[in-house]
Chains A and B, each alone.
Chain A
Amino acid sequence: MFIAFLIWIIIIIFALILGTYLCYRIEKHGVKRWGATGSLFKYNPKSEE
């Protein structure tokens, strides 16, 4: 039972790490239309305007 839950938890952590890495890449590229707003997680809708 422990193994089943462990696999699930590892995948959840992996999802958050991969998402963070991709947000970091978007910020690093600095391309505004991709969503680069100078903040890793915060999305600022005003930057689109």
Chain B
Amino acid sequence: MIYLVILGLYAAFIVWTSIKSLKQAESMSDFTTGGHRMGLLLGIGTTTATWVSVASVMGVPGYLYSNGVSAIIGWVAGWFLATSLIPLVAYKIRRPKTPARTFPEYIHLRFEPFRKVSHLRTIVGLTMFVGYFLFVHLQVVGFGIVFSTITGIDYKFAIFAFLIFLLFTSIGGFWSVAATDTLNTSLIVIGVILGGASVLVAAGGWDSIVNTISTTTSPTNIGGEALAAGSMISPIGTFGLGALFAIFMSNAVGSIVSPHWVTRMLAPKNIKVAVLQIMGSVLVLTVIFIPLIIMGLGAKTLIPSLPEGQTTDYIIPVIIQQYTPPLVGALTLVALCAAAVSSANSMLLHCATSVYYDVYLNIFRNKKVTEKKFNMNLRIGMFLIAVIAVFSAITPPWFLAMGFTYVYGGFGAVFFAVVILGLYWKRMNRAAAYVSMLVGLATYVIAMIASATNPFLIALIASLIGVMAVVFLTKKPPVEAYEPYFETDISPSTEQVFTNVQRNEDKIVADGEEKMIKKDA
């Protein structure tokens, strides 16, 4: 009962915050990047909440339970390395006086500033749509697992409750997402600390946990293959060096260039706030991950093997329910729901924005929509995508953490060159951008189908070879393409081109302005 009460209070607070934030999303820039005016504390809150997803709070402890400490290297260290390097993106991408409002808009400005219709932008928008749809799908799966554990409702029906949370947290755009995220971060910190402490006590302390994982041979699932003694404390675990390196690289390099992190770096007031918000988030995330590691490893002491057929993604909800006091359990499980909601709302926003603003409105250049209509269409799009994501999650195909690794690998293969080389190498040009993205994507898909050990690394190398070949065989990019990212003061011609691109984006007009257009016509 207490689980439902706490969950009900959380839901009520989400609805209240979302409706309150709704009034703040006035312009398109507000909707996507919060108008580039986000402060430090809100930045830390929203960055941390977006970072902590179901893959972090359920998937990683699941792998700690089944594979031991090697999961710390593969996922935790991989994601932390990415986070530590994200300020390098912020340091450059936030330089222009009027920064891009979406990730595909950055691609347009950096590589095709003279083109009204940017095909590169369309490709980026479509890739983002697929990637973020998969991310939302994974959050639905995680939420469904927790919600069915709390309520006892069958997983296949529990996932539909997610629509209510998504509907409310997404309608206000970026400010709604940021406001609810800050609440979610507080809940996650409190929930996992209480949960971690309870599991530590129930497992008999840290020494007992270490002793168990050093000697256990219990299979992950009852009736499964027994573990080799000591494999859970080995840094490589049962993955093997090649597979663990592949996971680490996908998580580390893929995350840095993921569009949602690049966009997050566009939201703060300035570069320094962007850098500081990441440093602050690293500290908060460390506080979150210590109890998560205790829970993942401690679970092996409490439940040596899961029932046959149950995935390791269930281990945290199961031990929380069985081994923590009801109030602590309720808070921890709501924290897991908060992790799912806070990541899904942000990713849903990227998913809908990419397909509507960067693909549809980029192709149909002559369409003029009012801000009101734009925001409404975006909300409808978000809700439709959420509905499809929920239906797709009825039979989940992947483990949560591994699903994230696949998508990050794909993002890294496609976007590494256009983000990192685009920001740090003046010579990176339009042709190289096309080659890097298309070669990276094709190679990654082929390597995945062929079950290669490290599809991300293969795709990244192929993409970079393509870039090097093309960059030196084609013309240098025009100064207007790179100047805003390399110089403090830009030339008048660059300023003109930059303004033109952003003006051309202004297909979204104010309500009164639309009446004027009709009158003129």
B72 at the interface (CB under 8 A from A): yes
B504 at the interface (CB under 8 A from A): no
Interface digits, B57-93 against A, CB 8 Å rule (1 contact, 0 not)?
0000000000011101100110011011101101100
Smallest Cβ-Cβ distance to A33: which chain B residue: B270
**In the complex the two chains form, what is the Cα distance from A25 to B213 in whole Å?**
45
Q: A4-B235, A11-B77, A48-B269 are in contact. Are A22 and B87 (CB under 8 A)?
A: yes
Q: Please state if B69 and A4 are interface contacts (CB–CB under 8 Å).
A: yes
Q: Please state if A7 and B73 are interface contacts (CB–CB under 8 Å).
A: yes
Q: Which A residues lie within 8 Å of B70 (CB)?
A: 4
**In the complex the two chains form, what is the Cα distance from A15 to B402 in whole Å?**
24
Other-chain contact of A43, B84, B90, B273, B488 (Cβ < 8 Å): B273
A sample of 18 inter-chain contacts (CB < 8 A) reads A3-B73, A3-B235, A4-B235, A5-B72, A11-B84, A12-B80, A15-B84, A16-B282, A19-B276, A19-B279, A19-B282, A22-B88, A22-B90, A34-B95, A34-B270, A34-B272, A43-B272, A45-B269
Q: Which B residues lie within 8 Å of A3 (CB)?
A: 73, 235
Smallest Cβ-Cβ distance to A20: which chain B residue: B279
B39 at the interface (CB under 8 A from A): yes
Report A's interface with B, CB cutoff 8 A.
1, 3-5, 7-8, 11-12, 14-16, 18-20, 22-23, 25-26, 29, 31, 33-37, 41, 43, 45, 48
**In the complex the two chains form, what is the Cα distance from A5 to B282 in whole Å?**
15
Q: Which A residues lie within 8 Å of B84 (CB)?
A: 11-12, 14-15, 18-19
**In the complex the two chains form, what is the Cα distance from A31 to B490 in whole Å?**
14
Residues of B213-237 at the interface with A, using a CB-CB cut-off of 8 Å, are 213, 233, 235
**In the complex the two chains form, what is the Cα distance from A40 to B341 in whole Å?**
34
**In the complex the two chains form, what is the Cα distance from A11 to B267 in whole Å?**
25
B164 at the interface (CB under 8 A from A): no
Q: Please state if A1 and B73 are interface contacts (CB–CB under 8 Å).
A: no
Smallest Cβ-Cβ distance to B235: which chain A residue: A3
**In the complex the two chains form, what is the Cα distance from A36 to B276 in whole Å?**
12
Q: Please state if B40 and A33 are interface contacts (CB–CB under 8 Å).
A: no
B210 at the interface (CB under 8 A from A): yes
Given contacts A1-B235, A7-B235, A22-B271, 13 further A-B contacts (CB under 8 A): A1-B213, A4-B235, A12-B84, A12-B282, A16-B282, A19-B84, A19-B87, A22-B275, A26-B91, A26-B271, A26-B275, A33-B270, A35-B271
B278 at the interface (CB under 8 A from A): yes
B97 at the interface (CB under 8 A from A): yes
Q: A4-B69, A22-B87, A43-B40 are in contact. Are A35 and B77 (CB under 8 A)?
A: no
Other-chain contact of A8, B77, B275, B279 (Cβ < 8 Å): B77
Q: Which A residues lie within 8 Å of B95 (CB)?
A: 34
A42 to chain B minimum Cβ distance, whole angstroms, is 9
B474 at the interface (CB under 8 A from A): no
The A interface, classified by DSSP as helix, strand, loop or mixed, is helix
Q: Please state if A18 and B72 are interface contacts (CB–CB under 8 Å).
A: no
Q: Please state if B273 and A35 are interface contacts (CB–CB under 8 Å).
A: yes
Other-chain contact of A1, B85, B210, B276, B286 (Cβ < 8 Å): B210
Interface digits, B119-156 against A, CB 8 Å rule (1 contact, 0 not)?
00000000000000000000000000000000000000
Q: Which B residues lie within 8 Å of A41 (CB)?
A: 276
**In the complex the two chains form, what is the Cα distance from A22 to B210 in whole Å?**
39
A18 to chain B minimum Cβ distance, whole angstroms, is 6
**In the complex the two chains form, what is the Cα distance from A29 to B97 in whole Å?**
16
B387 to chain A minimum Cβ distance, whole angstroms, is 38
Q: Please state if B488 and A29 are interface contacts (CB–CB under 8 Å).
A: yes
Q: Which A residues lie within 8 Å of B269 (CB)?
A: 35, 45, 48
Q: Please state if A8 and B80 are interface contacts (CB–CB under 8 Å).
A: yes
Q: Which B residues lie within 8 Å of A29 (CB)?
A: 488
Smallest Cβ-Cβ distance to A41: which chain B residue: B276
Residues of B272-323 at the interface with A, using a CB-CB cut-off of 8 Å, are 272-273, 275-276, 278-279, 282, 286
Interface digits, B239-283 against A, CB 8 Å rule (1 contact, 0 not)?
000000000000000000000000000000111110110110010
Smallest Cβ-Cβ distance to A30: which chain B residue: B488
Q: Which B residues lie within 8 Å of A34 (CB)?
A: 94-95, 270-272
**In the complex the two chains form, what is the Cα distance from A37 to B290 in whole Å?**
34
Q: Which B residues lie within 8 Å of A45 (CB)?
A: 39, 269
Residues of B333-383 at the interface with A, using a CB-CB cut-off of 8 Å, are none
Of listed A4, A26, A29, residue having the most chain B CB within 10 A = A4
Q: A31-B488, A35-B269 are in contact. Are A15 and B282 (CB under 8 A)?
A: yes
Other-chain contact of B275, A1, A7, A23, A31 (Cβ < 8 Å): A23
